[in-house]
Amino acid sequence: MGDKQKLILDEPVEEGVKSYPGKHERKHKRYFQLPWYFASGLVLFWGLLFVAVVKPLFYRLPEPLTVEDASKEVFIADRAYANLYDFEAIGTKVVGSYENEHKTVQFLLKELNLIKDNIQEDLFDMEIDLQYAYGAYVKWNLVNMYQGIQNVVVKLTPKSSTSENYILVNSHFDSQPTSPSTGDDGHMVVSILEVLRVISSSRIPFEHPIIFLINGSEENSLQASHGFIAYHKWAKNCKTVINLDAAGSGGRELMFQSGPNNPWLVKIYKEGAKHYFSTTMAEEIFQTGLVPSYTDFDIFVEYGNLIGLDIGQCINGFVYHTKYDRIDVIPRAALQNTGDNLLGLVRTLSNATEMRDLSANPTGNTIFFDVLGLYLISYSADVGVKLNYGVAAAAIVLVYISLLRIADKSSVSSEQILSSFILVLVVQLIAFVLALALPLLVAYGLDKYGFSLSYFATPSLLLGLYVCPSLLGLLLPSYIYLKLKSTEKVSFAQQVQLALHGHAAVLSILCIAINYYGLRTTYVVTWTLVFYVLPLAFNLLTTLHDRGYSWSGILKVVQVAPFMYNSYLFYCFIVILTPMMGRFGLDTNPDLIIGALTALGTILSMGFLILLVNMSRRSGFVLFGLLAVTAAAVYIASSTDIGFPYRPKTNVQRVPYLQVRRVFYEYDGTVSKDESGYLFNFQDRRGVTPLLESNVDLTGLVNMTADCAKYMMCGMPLYDHRWVEAMEDTMWLPRKNPVWTPDEPILKLLNKTLQEDGTTVRFEFELQSPDHTSIFIQPNEDVTISNWSFLQEYLTTNSPPYHIYYSFGIDDTPLRFFIDLVKSNRDFTVPLFQLGIAAQYMHVNGDDEAVRFAKSIPDYAVTIQWPAFYKKYLF
């Protein structure tokens, strides 16, 4: 008997089916499949592996150390937690408030002086500086202008150090309105205090001086970091930065930006951090602008040419910037995780030889990723490009060899096998498209009928809404193809193997395409392919490739690695981005983003594994099950309270609005409009709809589209750049009684002077306003602003209406400014420009009527609101 026929006869025989020689034997062998329970058992196994191993590793935190474990050389979470309790007790810390400018600064100075009293005086010098920063810069198409912003700065220098290259460690102590800022960014502030305490009181030496910056205005357009890097006496020596921020609270912190273009910093992270959590994919997603957040890291890079690491809390973003950002959602273990990492990073970086001469270090991008938090893998982007192409090519070559082997063992020509494989490839390409398209179709349908964000409070719905449709799309084409396939010379086991080869070929093509495009995130596809290439190579080197389903054994074992990593990675992004979808704006369907991420994670985690279901005798049951779960999830999302997105305290709807009084002054000083109401800036896709279905009185609520077409900046006291970007989506609810404000902005025209050239007139003003004020300026069509007190570069790079965002901290001196206007016909007796003053009174709740209205909003929503006064002038 020849080897070829022997291998065919070595296939397992289906129980209960007689074996006959020749053609009939081959026919029965082709239809041999595993028992019906194999398919459901396979799917269940991988689901249990995710729940039992992947999720626990994702949420794993170290054991917090207590004061009883006290050592001068380790981070003690207990001490940091005590500091955090005192930090929260101060309350909301909005720039300009007494809490921010006095109580928090005093708290920090007190703690720093206690630390200074216990330093190793023979080894270190510690200097504490309180900076008052004044300045301006252009960002987000507006001028950010600040006055008397406070920075608490500490310099720790080894007495033996001659290094002039400093390390900067930064966080911020200010908050958004209504939030006590315990997670953002009190968690990082107290971590810095404890790390400084440990380093300064231990006798472990380091080489490079360390600057600890706890800045007082990050939430206010990143102003304090600019004030430091542009004007502080120590800033010019700062060369690298570890920036610490938060978009969540109470979990592991993610290192999501490195460099730029300095791969040695990833090596520092690898050597210094104890608990890895990092990925190139996070860096690339953040830099696309998909995440609706900014950090001081951008300011340090742009204005200080610094390099470094950007690290942030990211889990439980539901409480971010709300009154629920409190200490009760932050376990001590989370502080221990941050502290261990920060202490290790600071010590490693402060002793890094690369800090001696930064210009001598290699440049370029890096690919980096942690593996379930246990290991960190990193290599250069150049190596990554070669690896990506190499693995994709290896996959294609091995698939080709396998096709030739199948042809040889099945007594069919290689041309027949290759032509069959082309059809299989088309089938798997359709499967890939369906695996993406079906979840997106569900996302589109839910949004179309008003059920977006149904998973917001019930993340388990994602399994039915997006995972099951994706698996259905992956499995259905191959299921139909294998049922209709009539070739009897190629065994059923090898037909299934061809389907897997088709999926590998599709991933290889995808890998080559996105690698060519330049995304470092290609590594995810590459490593998924690696764990198909390895078992395929092993099977080809042995006879397992040709022995029925024997090849699937090693494949299933090896697939544990890509399944665990890919499900971990995409679960990470779903956990991080889901809360952000609640503040992503009205214009974008967030379900498309979450659906696409879930589908990609499903394809990369289960793409090969789900095709093995075809080996089962009742694989159709799995298809039916997937369809049934999808239908059930859609029903739950659209027809039950489970699918309602919001829950009190834990998964709230954000409802930002302003209590507005607006007054329009005409050229002769008369008032043409004086009205009050509430200006809403809804941040999620459902917008006002949930409130319309509640007991809130929204009679008279209108969209601002008409006012935006008629008035400069909609004639409203828009708060910051986000409000400006969303102004046409804002909504106005009028009220009869005037809105109360503690005072009102006072604009004085000091002088109006015709300049020597006869075509220019100068207006000089003094503005007395609260600590957050916007100035809007719109010259008439025949008028040009040639000069002003604000940044000149803004006039050349932006078009009217101009926006100056002005705030102050400790210094409330009235603002003086001038504007020079040019008019060629020299007629200055008519209106030349509009000037709007948008004053924000962020430290008060409002009048009784406003308080009653806020209390009428359901408890599943959180209000972020304050009084505002808008005055519009014609000059």
Cβ atoms of 605 and 563 closer than 8 Å? yes
- pLDDT at position 42 is 85
Pick the closest to residue 577 from 373, 370, 325, 291 (CA basis). 291
Q: How far apart are CA 283 and CA 370, in angstroms?
A: 13
Q: Report the mean per-residue pLDDT for the chain.
A: 93
- pLDDT at position 289 is 77
Q: How far apart are CA 145 and CA 790, in angstroms?
A: 8
Torsion of CA 636, 639, 640, 646, to 10 degrees: 90
Q: How does pLDDT run across 117-174, given as a tens digit for each residue?
A: 999 999 999 999 999 999 999 999 999 999 999 999 999 999 999 999 999 999 999 9
Q: How far apart are CA 690 and CA 645, in angstroms?
A: 10
Q: How does pLDDT run across 682-726, given as a tens digit for each residue?
A: 999 999 999 999 999 999 999 999 999 999 999 999 999 999 999
Q: How far apart are CA 498 and CA 626, in angstroms?
A: 23
Integer angstrom CA distances of residue 295 from 102, 310, 325: 24, 8, 18
- Beta bridge partners, 779, equal 833
Cβ atoms of 141 and 803 closer than 8 Å? yes
Cβ atoms of 237 and 292 closer than 8 Å? no
- Beta bridge partners, 674, equal 663
CA 742 to chain centre: 37
Q: How does pLDDT run across 205-221, given as a tens digit for each residue?
A: 999 999 999 999 999 99
More confident residue, 495 or 13: 495
Position 496 pLDDT exceeds 70: yes
The alpha-helical segments, DSSP class H, found in 518-559 are 523-541, 550-558
Position 526 pLDDT exceeds 60: yes
- pLDDT at position 688 is 96
Q: How far apart are CA 639 and CA 622, in angstroms?
A: 25
Q: How does pLDDT run across 383-427, given as a tens digit for each residue?
A: 999 999 999 999 999 999 999 999 998 888 999 999 999 999 999
Helix (H) or strand (E) holding 620: helix 619-639
Position 608 pLDDT exceeds 90: yes
The CATH architecture of the domain made up of 67-372 is 3-Layer(aba) Sandwich (3.40)
More confident residue, 204 or 69: 204
Place of tokens 């006039």: 795
> How large is the average pLDDT for residues 763-781?
97
Enumerate long-range contacts of 446-451, CB under 8 Å, 24 or more apart. 446/591, 446/634, 446/637, 446/638, 447/589, 447/591, 447/592, 447/685, 449/638, 450/686, 450/689, 451/637, 451/638, 451/643
- pLDDT at position 639 is 96
Q: How far apart are CA 83 and CA 196, in angstroms?
A: 13
- pLDDT at position 69 is 81
Q: How many CB atoms lie within 10 A of CB 4?
A: 13
Q: How far apart are CA 173 and CA 150, in angstroms?
A: 10
> How large is the average pLDDT for residues 66-84?
90
Helix, strand counts (H, E) of the chain: 28, 21
For the beta sheet containing 784-788, the strands, ordered from the edge strand earlier in sequence to the opposite edge, are 746-754, 760-768, 815-822, 784-788
> How large is the average pLDDT for residues 725-731?
94
The alpha-helical segments, DSSP class H, found in 305-380 are 332-350
Rg (CA), the chain: 32
Terminus-to-terminus CA distance in the chain, angstroms? 103
> How large is the average pLDDT for residues 735-757?
96
- pLDDT at position 754 is 95
**What would you measure as the largest C-alpha separation in the chain, in angstroms?**
111
Cβ atoms of 665 and 872 closer than 8 Å? yes
Position 20 pLDDT exceeds 90: no
DSSP three-state, residue 802: strand
Pick the closest to residue 28 from 450, 736, 548 (CA basis). 548
Q: How far apart are CA 775 and CA 768, in angstroms?
A: 12
Position 488 pLDDT exceeds 80: no
Helix (H) or strand (E) holding 867: strand 861-874
Q: How does pLDDT run across 430-478, given as a tens digit for each residue?
A: 999 999 999 999 999 999 999 999 999 999 999 999 999 999 999 999 9
Q: If pLDDT is split at 50, 70 and 90, which confidence band does 487 have?
A: low
**Domain positions in the chain:** 3-56+382-643, 67-372, 652-875
Encoding tokens for residue 560?
């544990």
Encoding tokens for residue 626?
């997937």
Position 199 pLDDT exceeds 80: yes
Torsion of CA 565, 568, 574, 576, to 10 degrees: -110
Which residues are within 8 A (CB) of 91 and not within 5 positions of it... i.e. 6 or more apart?
99, 180
Position 532 pLDDT exceeds 70: yes
Percentage of the chain beyond pLDDT 90 is: 90
How many residues belong to the chain? 875
Q: How many CB atoms lie within 10 A of CB 89?
A: 12
Q: If pLDDT is split at 50, 70 and 90, which confidence band does 293 have?
A: confident
Q: How far apart are CA 402 and CA 536, in angstroms?
A: 8
- pLDDT at position 4 is 39
Encoding tokens for residue 227?
């004030």
